[in-house]
Amino acid sequence: MFGFNYYTPTKVVFGKNTESQVADLIKEFGGTKVLIHYGGGSVVRSGLLSRVTDSLDAAGIPYVTLGGAVPNPHLGLVYEGIELCKKEGVDFLLGVGGGSAIDSAKAIGYGVANEGDVWDFYDYKRKATGCLPLGVILTIAATGSEMSDSSVITKEEGLVKRGYSSDYSRPRFAIMNPELTMTLPDYQTACGCTDIMMHTMERYFTQGGNMEITDALAEGLLRTVKKNAVILRDDPKNYDARAEVMWAGSLAHNGLTGCGNDGGDWMTHKLEHELGGLYDVAHGAGLAAVWGSWARYVYKDCLPRFKKFAINVMDVADEGTDEEIALRGIEAMEDFYRSINMPTNLRELGVNATEEDLVEMARKCAIGVGGEKGSAKVLDEAAMLAIYRASM
């Protein structure tokens, strides 16, 4: 077991109608002029945005709005947001939407609080020394950005998708009303469940010392999301299932399931980020499409964890060799993905990549991780290419 820092400063306000508390929360955290940042319009159509602006109007809190954060959010809009905040004297950011709107807001926050080009942080050239304070109203359970230190931005030029993490960007508050997720398309609900499980699995399949308590939390979280994803497939308006998944999404990526281990593997995410950058696929679906190939490539090097996962999460019988049990666990996970209409390879994802595309993605992925990365098994560029090829 390794030592760890566990830092979760976000005040979570969870339950029905909690968005009505937004003005009080902004005041509590010192906001006097707000940028409300959102995505492509779902929050306009659902009426959430006008409820939020009505609340701020009633509380006398001035604000400006900026919509248009796309899935795999773009750097161009981040620059626009930074200029707007500087011009308007904004001192608090409110991200309303999913991971894309929240991540875009975090990047705007870095850009306002630091001199120079904000992309430098995502390009690993230097580190941020601050971020504008941020609150969020979450509309999709998926990335965990509502409590995480991460944000992921795509630079349009060269389609480079990169993440940057620092505690400065952890939201001050997160409003989570599971009812707000009921307008999601089924595909996005399933993508979200996949991402939540993946954030836990990235931290589970490691070589680093593990804690029994962390494993129990991780396995319980995985079983809960697996069960409730199927409930939501059949009954999308089920409040309790929405709530289970929403809270799981935050716990999966606020560091809880990483306590005591070596920080995680993260190669499935890195492989997906190239797909998201190049083909603009939904993040969760991209993860499902490469996970099986990744798992088959690495499982022999991390056999005890894959065996434990098969038995404790996927309900595989403890019969046969360790390798057989591990492989049955991987197959069961892929069956689960299929059961919620997630892809298990690139073709099912709708990506018809050429060999040249695969080589290019492996090249960019290797650059993005500084040469090699992984914990279950350390992967270099050749290994990344082999996994992309196997996922075709």
Q: Nearer Cβ to Zn ion, position 103 or 195?
A: 195
Residue 270 makes contact with ligand NZQ by CB under 6 A = no
Give the gyration radius of the chain's Cα atoms: 20
Q: Applying CB under 6 A, what is the total number of residues that bind ligand NZQ?
A: 34
Q: What residue 103 binds from ligand NZQ, Zn ion, none (CB within 5 to 8 A, per partner kind)? A: ligand NZQ
Residue 10 makes contact with ligand NZQ by CB under 6 A = no
Q: Which stretch binds ligand NZQ (CB under 6 A): 93-101, 212-220, 309-317, 384-392?
A: 93-101
State the residue for tokens 């998708």: 161
Residue 265 makes contact with Zn ion by CB under 5 A = no
At 63, phi and psi to the nearest 5?
Answer: -155, 160
Residue 149 makes contact with Zn ion by CB under 5 A = no
Residue 195 makes contact with Zn ion by CB under 5 A = yes
| Token pair recorded at residue 49 | 């945005």
Residue 104 makes contact with ligand NZQ by CB under 6 A = no
Residue 206 makes contact with ligand NZQ by CB under 6 A = no
Q: Nearer Cβ to Zn ion, position 18 or 151?
A: 151
| Token pair recorded at residue 281 | 């696929």
CB of 269 to Zn ion, least distance (A): 6
3-class DSSP assignment, residue 70: coil
Q: Give CA–CA dist 244/241, Å, rounded.
A: 5
Taking the mean position of all CA atoms in its chain, how far away is CA 78? 18
Under rule CB under 6 A, which residues in 236-265 are in contact with ligand NZQ? 253
Residue 151 makes contact with ligand NZQ by CB under 6 A = yes
DSSP at 373: B
Q: Binder to ligand NZQ among 78, 93, 140, 310 (CB under 6 A)?
A: 140
Residue 219 makes contact with Zn ion by CB under 5 A = no
CB of 141 to ligand NZQ, least distance (A): 8
| DSSP labels, 224-271 | HHHHHHHHHHH-TT-HHHHHHHHHHHHHHHSSGGGTTSSS---HHHHH
- Contact predicate 121/165, CB 8 Å: no
Amino acid identity for residue 23 in this structure: A
- Contact predicate 62/142, CB 8 Å: no
Strand 160-165 to strand 150-155: parallel, antiparallel, or no bridges (unpaired)? antiparallel
Q: What residue 100 binds from ligand NZQ, Zn ion, none (CB within 5 to 8 A, per partner kind)? A: ligand NZQ
* Positions that interact with ligand NZQ (CB under 6 A): 39-43, 71-72, 97-101, 103, 139-140, 142-145, 148, 150-152, 180-181, 183-184, 188, 192, 195, 253, 269, 276, 283
* Positions that interact with Zn ion (CB under 5 A): 195
